Amino acid sequence: SSDLDKTIDQRFAEFHAQNPAVFARIVELLREAKRRSKARTSLKMIFEVLRWESYLYTTREPHDFRLNNNFTSRYSRLVIELYPDLGALLETRRLLAA
């Protein structure tokens, strides 16, 4: 089946399984924010940092590295589930789509 037939949750699960370094870097950046006593941040901001790092430090073209903005809420919830202390830095909203 094509990506269009899959739910956001299904696409996220596949992306997360294929790209574990993305979540690891999200956790690193949140730990850095906590160390520096930052009270709030967002996964949208972190996604832009990841995009920037990919642009600077890889030989891939920018369009080759795709972070779907629909995944920010899933990563937020994963952080909250696995690292509640870091999750406290994130603002979350109710999920509207599966």
The DSSP-derived string for 34-56 is HHTT---B-HHHHHHHHHHHHHH
Q: Mind listing the pLDDT tens digit for each residue in 20-40?
A: 999 999 999 999 999 999 889
Q: Mind listing the pLDDT tens digit for each residue in 52-90?
A: 998 888 776 655 568 899 999 999 999 999 999 999 999
